[in-house]
Chains A and B, each alone.
Chain A
Amino acid sequence: MPILCSAKCGQNAVLKRPKTGDTLCKECFYWAFELEIHSTITNGKLFKKGDVVAIAASGGKDSTVLAQVLKTLNERYNYELTLILLSIDEGITGYRDDSLKTVLENKDEYQMPLKILSYQQLYGWSMDKIVAEVGRKNNCTFCGVFRRQALDRGAMLLNVDCIATGHNADDIAETVLMNILRGDVARLQRCVNIITITEGTIPRCKPLKYTYEKEIVMYAYFKKLNYFSTECVFAPNAYRGYARTFLKDIERLKPSSIMDIIHSGETMCIKENVKLPDIGVCTKCGFVSSQDICKACMLLEGLNRGLPKLGIGKSRKANKALAALPNPSLLHF
C-alpha cells in the first residue's frame, strides 16, 4: 500500500526523511529541505542585502547542493546577493581534474562567475609537488592547512563580503567529536558557530549547518545534480575515519544523534580559568594565527628550506627550528 506524504498534500510519499523519519513526496521534500536552509539563513542572520558571497566550491555534493539552493533561495526570497563560485585547485592529479570539471558545469548551469585559484599560484607548491617532497603520510596536514588559508586568500582577492562553505550537520557533529578527542576546547567552542568572524579575515558561514548529509545526497539524487564524489585520493586520516564511523553508528541507533551532538556543542562552556590561545595575526603573512607564525607559513618555510617535516609536529618545536633559521622575507602572493 502506498504511504501518503506526511505534509498532507495528497501525493504518495517517495522517501523517508533521514532527519525526522517523516514520509514525504518529492515536492514536499524539496520545500522542507529548502525552507530549512532559508530558516537557518534568516535566523542566523548569515547575509545582508547586497552582500557578495563566495561559495566555496569543491565540486563535491555539499558545495554543489549549496550553490543550487543558494541560487534558488536568493531568487525566491530576494536576498539580493551576488553569488560567486570560488574553487581551490590543490594540484592533485586525477582528483581536482574531474572535480573542477564539475565546478565548471555548475558555473554554466547556475550562471555564476567562477574563480579558480591554485596552490601553485597561492603558495608556489602544488600538492603533487608536496607529496613528492613529504611522502603520503603527512600530506593531508599540508592540504588541510593550505586550504584553510587558500579560501581566505582567494576571498580577499575577490573582495567578497562573506564565504559560504558546504559544511553540513554531520561535518559539524564530527568536528565536535574530533575536538573532544584531541582536547582542543577553543576549537570545540568555535566549531559550532554558524558564522566565524575573526578579525582580519572575511566572515565564513555554514548555511547547511543543520542539514543532514543523507538529505543532501537525497536532494542531489532527486534533482539529478551533478557532483563529483571521491574521498581525498591520499590516505584518509585514520583518526577522523574512526570518528566518522562512530557517528554513523550512533546515527543509525538514533537519527537525532547528529543534532544532539551539535546541541551539546552549542551548550558546552569553557571554564573561566582555562587559558585559550590568543588569536593574532601571523607575522609573516598577516593572516589569522594563534602563533606568531601561522601553520601555513611554517609548513611553507619547511618546504622551501628542504625541511618538510617542520611544522608537522608540535608547534613549539617548529618555532624553535624556525627561529634558528635566518629571517626570511615576508611572503607575498
Chain B
Amino acid sequence: MCSINEEGAEVFEEFKPIEPLELKCRKCLIEDGNVVLQKKFVYCKTCFVPMVTHKFRATIGKSKLVNRGERVLVCVSGSQSSISLLHMIWTGLQQSTYKRLTFDPVVLYIDESVLHDYPQDQVNKIKKLFEKYGLTYHIVKFAAAVYSDNCLNEDINVDQYNDKLQNIFNNLSDLTLKEDMLMKLRKRAITKLADLLKCTRMMTAENEHKLSIRLLSNVALGRGSQISLDIGLAVNNKNNDKTSLVTIRPMRNLSAKEISYYALFNKLDDFLHSNFLTATSEDESIQKTTERFINDLQVNFPSTVSTIFRTGEKISEKTSAIAYCLLCQGVMDVDMSPSSAMEATKYSKYVSLMGVKALKLSLKELKNEETNEKKCNGCKCRNKQDLKEEIVESLCYACAHIIQDLESLDDLPEEILNKEKDRLQFKKMEEQIKDFLL
C-alpha cells in the first residue's frame, strides 16, 4: 500500500530557508537585535525580557487562577526553567501597584541527592539563592517527602527512608518504568508538601518543549487519558477532597529558547537537575527516544512542538470518571469494553498459553488453573503475589505496568499499601451486606 493511507492528505509546514535577517529589533525598531526567535523574529535585549515576562503574566493572569493572598507552592528543581520562574515571580512581587503579583509564594526545592549525584554544595547554593530573594522557602529531602508526614522537620532521620526509596528503583529493571515511577513519586511528594504547607495552588516550570515531549511519551506509555493532568495549565486535583489543589504551569507558553535567553539576560545561574535518563543514551528509554524524535522533527518542521502542544490543549480526561489511580492520581482508564486494546492484550496472553484449548475454557478458569499450580503451602510468596494483583486493580493502565515490573512491594509508600487495604476491607463489607442493600 502507498505509504500515505486513506486517512487523508497531509500538509505540514516544512522549514523554509530564512530570508536575510533584518538586524533591527522588531519592537523598538531602533536597537540592534540580540535574539532571533523562530528563525525570523528579531528582538533587542531591552524589548525581549518584557516580552517574555508578559507571556508569563498572561498565562497566570488568564481566568484568574490565583487569588489575592493565596499560598502558592513554587516548585524549583534547579533547572533553567525553574530558576527563571522564580525570578519572574520575584520580579512580579517587586513591581509597583497594579502590576504587582499579589499571591503568597512558598518556594520548594526537593533534594534528590539520594538517587543521583549532585555537587556537594548544591543545596547550600540553592539556599543562598532563596535567601537572596527573601521568600519563604523549604528544602526537603525526597525520601522524607515520599514516606513521612513529618518531612518538614529538618531533624528527621531519613536513612531508613533513603534505603526504601533506593530499593524501589533498584527493584525496577526497566529504565522507562524507572523514570515514569520517579515522575509519579515526585508528584506525590509535591502534592503532599502542598498540603502540609497549606498551599492551594502550585506552580511548576515546564516549558512548551518539555510538555510536548511529555505528551507524546505519555501517549506511548498508555497514559493518553492523563494528558490534561500532566500538561494542562490548571488542573484540579479531584482526588484531594479536603483542599482542592490546582497545578499551574506558567511557563508553558514559553519556548526553551526564550527561557534560556531570559536566564542569560538576567544572569541567572541554573543548577544540576538529574533523573534516571541523565547520561543514558537515546535508545534506552521511551522518554528519550521520544525526545530525540521530537527534536529531529523540529529541525525540519519548526512548528512540530507547538502543534503537539496545541493538540494537548484539546484533549481532556473523561468527565465521567469516578475512580482515580492509587499511584498517580490520574483517572482510572481500565474499565474498557471487550473491544479494546486492553482486553485484546489480555486475550493475546490467554490464547498464547491455551492454544487450542482457548476456545473451550474461559479466562477465569485459566486463572484458577494457574493459581492451583502456583500454590506453595503456607509460604509468604503466595501472599505477595496476591497483594500485587490486588494493588494492580487500583492502578491505572500505565501504573499497573510499573508495579508489575516492581520486584517487591515492601518499599511502596504506606499510604498506597494502606489505602489498598481499606479498599479491600470495604469491598469485603460490601460483599457481606450486598443482599440487604436496597
Complex: A21 Cα to B317 Cα, angstroms: 32
The stretch among B144-152, B215-223, B424-432 that forms the contact with chain A is B215-223
* In-complex Cβ contact of A7 among B284, B300, B354 (8 A): B354
Interface residues of A in 201-238 (CB under 8 A from B): 209-210, 231-232, 234, 236-238
Interface residues of chain A: helix, strand, loop or mixed (majority) = helix
Q: Say yes or no: is A256 at the interface (Cβ < 8 Å to chain B).
A: yes
| Cβ of B91 to closest chain A Cβ, rounded Å | 33
Q: Say yes or no: is A333 at the interface (Cβ < 8 Å to chain B).
A: no
Task: Name the A residues within 8 Å of B285 (CB-CB).
Answer: 253
Q: Say yes or no: is A263 at the interface (Cβ < 8 Å to chain B).
A: yes
Task: Name the A residues within 8 Å of B133 (CB-CB).
Answer: none
Interface residues of chain B: helix, strand, loop or mixed (majority) = helix
Show 23 residue pairs from A and B whose CB-CB distance is below 8 angstroms, ordered by the A residue. Answer: A7-B352, A7-B357, A32-B348, A32-B351, A140-B2, A141-B9, A144-B2, A166-B1, A175-B5, A180-B311, A181-B311, A183-B308, A237-B4, A239-B12, A242-B296, A254-B286, A257-B220, A259-B341, A260-B220, A260-B341, A264-B222, A268-B224, A274-B314
**A182 and B10 contact, Cβ closer than 8 Å, known pairs A236-B3, A271-B315:** yes
- Whether the Cβ atoms of A267 and B7 lie closer than 8 Å is no
Task: Name the A residues within 8 Å of B289 (CB-CB).
Answer: 246, 249-250, 253
Q: Say yes or no: is B333 at the interface (Cβ < 8 Å to chain A).
A: yes
Q: Mark A272-293, 1 if CB is under 8 A from B, else 0.
A: 1010000000000000000000
Q: Say yes or no: is B96 at the interface (Cβ < 8 Å to chain A).
A: no
**A260 and B221 contact, Cβ closer than 8 Å, known pairs A253-B283, A254-B176:** yes
- Whether the Cβ atoms of A39 and B347 lie closer than 8 Å is yes
| Chain A residue with the shortest CB-CB distance to B351 | A32
- Whether the Cβ atoms of B224 and A267 lie closer than 8 Å is yes
Complex: A270 Cα to B297 Cα, angstroms: 25
- Whether the Cβ atoms of B1 and A43 lie closer than 8 Å is no
Give the size category of B's interface with A.
Answer: 35 or more
- Whether the Cβ atoms of A43 and B10 lie closer than 8 Å is no
- Whether the Cβ atoms of B225 and A22 lie closer than 8 Å is no
Give the size category of A's interface with B.
Answer: 35 or more
- Whether the Cβ atoms of A145 and B176 lie closer than 8 Å is no
Q: Mark B1-23, 1 if CB is under 8 A from A, else 0.
A: 11111111111100000000000
Complex: A181 Cα to B215 Cα, angstroms: 11
**A145 and B7 contact, Cβ closer than 8 Å, known pairs A180-B311, A263-B397:** no
- Whether the Cβ atoms of B215 and A180 lie closer than 8 Å is yes
| Chain A residue with the shortest CB-CB distance to B318 | A269
| Cβ of B233 to closest chain A Cβ, rounded Å | 12
* In-complex Cβ contact of B316 among A151, A263, A271 (8 A): A271
Q: Say yes or no: is A319 at the interface (Cβ < 8 Å to chain B).
A: no
Spell out A's residues near B (CB within 8 Å). Answer: 5-9, 17, 19-20, 22, 24, 27-28, 31-32, 35-36, 39-40, 43-45, 58, 60, 62, 90, 140-141, 143-145, 147-148, 151, 166-167, 171, 175-185, 187-188, 191, 194, 209-210, 231-232, 234, 236-242, 246, 249-250, 253-254, 256-257, 259-272, 274, 295, 312-314
**A32 and B307 contact, Cβ closer than 8 Å, known pairs A148-B8, A261-B219:** no
- Whether the Cβ atoms of B344 and A178 lie closer than 8 Å is no
| Cβ of A235 to closest chain B Cβ, rounded Å | 9
- Whether the Cβ atoms of A36 and B347 lie closer than 8 Å is yes
Complex: A145 Cα to B10 Cα, angstroms: 10
**A267 and B225 contact, Cβ closer than 8 Å, known pairs A188-B311, A232-B1:** yes
Task: Name the A residues within 8 Å of B124 (CB-CB).
Answer: none
Task: Name the A residues within 8 Å of B313 (CB-CB).
Answer: 271
Known: A9-B355, A178-B10. 16 other contacts (CB 8 A): A7-B354, A7-B355, A20-B348, A28-B352, A35-B358, A58-B1, A148-B8, A177-B216, A179-B7, A237-B3, A237-B10, A246-B289, A250-B220, A260-B220, A260-B222, A261-B222
- Whether the Cβ atoms of A242 and B293 lie closer than 8 Å is yes
| Chain B residue with the shortest CB-CB distance to A239 | B12
| Cβ of B105 to closest chain A Cβ, rounded Å | 30
- Whether the Cβ atoms of B224 and A241 lie closer than 8 Å is no
Task: Name the A residues within 8 Å of B216 (CB-CB).
Answer: 177, 180
| Cβ of B375 to closest chain A Cβ, rounded Å | 18
Q: Say yes or no: is B377 at the interface (Cβ < 8 Å to chain A).
A: no
* In-complex Cβ contact of A171 among B5, B10, B355 (8 A): B5
Q: Say yes or no: is B190 at the interface (Cβ < 8 Å to chain A).
A: no
Q: Say yes or no: is B154 at the interface (Cβ < 8 Å to chain A).
A: no
Which 5 A-B residue pairings sit nearest by Cβ, starting from the closest?
A264-B224, A7-B355, A260-B222, A148-B6, A22-B352
- Whether the Cβ atoms of B8 and A144 lie closer than 8 Å is yes
* In-complex Cβ contact of B351 among A31, A62, A182 (8 A): A31
- Whether the Cβ atoms of B4 and A144 lie closer than 8 Å is yes
Complex: A246 Cα to B216 Cα, angstroms: 11
